[in-house]
Every structure is written in C-alpha cells, then in structure tokens.
Amino acid sequence: MTDFSHSPSPQIIAIANQKGGVGKTTTSINLAAALAEMALRVLVVDLDPQGNASTGLGIEAEEREMTTYELLVGDVPLGEVIQPTALDGLSIIPATVDLSSADIDLISNDRRSFLLHDSLRQSAMGEFGFDYILIDCPPSLNLLTVNAMVAAHSVLVPLQSEFFALEGLSQLMLSVREVRQSANPGLRIEGIVLTMYDKRNNLSRQVEQDARENLGDLVFETLIPRNVRVSEAPSYAMPVLSYDSNSQGAVAYRALAQEIMNKHRLMAA
C-alpha cells in the first residue's frame, strides 16, 4: 500500500560553517534524531571526509562500503548508498576519508557542483519517503559544501558562542549569495543556532546579543547549551537524545526541531 502521509519531496537542509568544531556534526546528528523522534523520516548525508556523523550514528568502518564518495564520484544510485541506523526513522549515507579527494576526482566533470543536487532533487525522491534530509558539511567552503548548498532548500549555521564567532559569517553568507546567483536562487538561510552556550559566561551572552542585534530573526530562539552529555554521546555511537534523553542538550535539540517545524508549517500555510 502506498503511504501518502509523508511529504512527496523532503526539505533539504545543509548544516554549514567553514569553521571546524562549532557544532555542525553534533547539530546534524541530534537535530536528525529529534525530528525522527517526532515520527518524521530523516536522512543524514555525511559530507565530511572525517565521517564523524557516521561514527556518531553508529556506522562502523566496515559498514561504509557505499558512501557519499560512491554517490558523487562513482555515480552509484541513491538507493544503494542509503542505510538504516539503529534509530527508527533515521537513515544515513555515511562517509569515509575517500571523500577528501572528491574535488580532484571531479575536476573534469562539468556538473561537479550539481552532483548532490541531481541525486537528492530527482523526481523519484518521494519514493524514499523522507521528510527531512540534513547534510553535514565539512569545515570548508569547498566543492563539497557547494554541492550541499546547491542541493539544499536552506542552510542552517551553527555558531559557537565564543569570541570571533561572527567573524567567518560574512564569508559564509557570500558563498550562499554566490550559489543563489549561479545555481540555486531559492536557497534560504534556515537560521543561525548558537551552540555550546553557557549562560553564566559573559562572553556567551555577549555573542548572543551581538548575533541578535546584527542578524535579527535569523537567530533561533533556541540556544544549545554546553553540556557534557552532548560531548559524551558520540563515543557511545548515539545521539544525546538516546544517550541521555533528559539531558539539557537533548531537551535543547528537541526545542530546535520544534522551532524549525513551526517555521516550515508557517511557510507552507
């Protein structure tokens, strides 16, 4: 029987910031888990050669024969690279270090910026039944991140609540503008989420104030607190929502998922 209860084409969100260590992977894993908890069907695309999202979702090295590298460079069909995770409703396309040579391997490919777009925006996408696709980007504005931005409906930017947090943002916004002009005019900013927030720390509060003054509504209400349970969860190959369901980190990622859902409902209305 055909299940019509899910949207025919998924919302695709690229989680990007060219700085490393700001919470991209943590946000990809835990936002995905929070959406899946809401009975939505979610696909995480690991687009970072470091493969941290794959590890964090329990996909071991020997389970990574079919990866984003095979999808992009090997032209392997989408259905052959998606695999389930231990969590209901949550699937992944894993990554390995192979992906680090993608920009060289694709140099003579005219559609090299559109490869992920061509896979994820194909007309048959609805048959996979996903509601959301989250793309975990590498810490760079390279060809992989461009592929993510060309494929996505929106970009979600994790911003670490520390000094210089806002500095790299103009460069990121410039990339978004370039992708809009060249390939993906509909690309939105989903929002900017402050991560590793410490409300007792003046600097965190200052970064929040600066971000809200300069970026207004683009900044999510939800703040992701610095929470040791969040940083422990990946070594147990679980999202924090499974590892410690009542932790501050888990609660915050559920709130972020809800905030995004509300926004999308308003947009659809």
Q: Give the binding site for ligand ADP (CB under 6 A).
A: 20-26, 52, 139, 195-196, 224, 226-227, 230-231, 234, 249
Between 25 and 204, name the residue whose CB sits nearer to ligand ADP. 25
Between 28 and 119, name the residue whose CB sits nearer to Mg ion. 28
Between 72 and 128, name the residue whose CB sits nearer to Mg ion. 72
Type of residue at 111: R
Residues 219 and 211 sit within 8 Å (Cβ to Cβ): yes
Q: CA 137 to CA 215: how far, in whole Å?
A: 22
Per CB under 5 A, the list member of 11, 25, 147, 154 interacting with Mg ion is 25
Minimum gap (Å) between residue 124 Cβ and ligand ADP: 30
Minimum gap (Å) between residue 139 Cβ and ligand ADP: 5
Per CB under 5 A, the list member of 19, 24, 41, 226 interacting with Mg ion is 24
The mark string for 46-85 relative to Mg ion (x by CB under 5 A, - otherwise) is: ------x---------------------------------
Minimum gap (Å) between residue 24 Cβ and Mg ion: 5
**Coil, strand, or helix at residue 99?**
helix
Type of residue at 105: D
The mark string for 33-52 relative to Mg ion (x by CB under 5 A, - otherwise) is: -------------------x
Q: Which residues contact 18 (CB under 8 A, 6 or more apart)?
A: 139, 140, 141, 145, 168, 171, 172
The two structure tokens encoding residue 129: 């039944």
Sign (positive/negative) of CA torsion 58, 63, 67, 69? positive
Q: CA 67 to CA 84: how far, in whole Å?
A: 13
Between 25 and 147, name the residue whose CB sits nearer to ligand ADP. 25
Neighbour tally for 212: CB within 10 Å: 15
Type of residue at 119: S
The item of ligand ADP, Mg ion, none sharing an interface with residue 26, based on CB under 5 to 8 Å by kind, is ligand ADP
The item of Mg ion, ligand ADP, none sharing an interface with residue 56, based on CB under 5 to 8 Å by kind, is none
The two structure tokens encoding residue 143: 């060809």
Residue 178 DSSP symbol: H
Q: CA 133 to CA 14: how far, in whole Å?
A: 8
Minimum gap (Å) between residue 256 Cβ and ligand ADP: 11
Between 11 and 195, name the residue whose CB sits nearer to ligand ADP. 195
Chain residues binding Mg ion by CB under 5 A are 24-25, 52
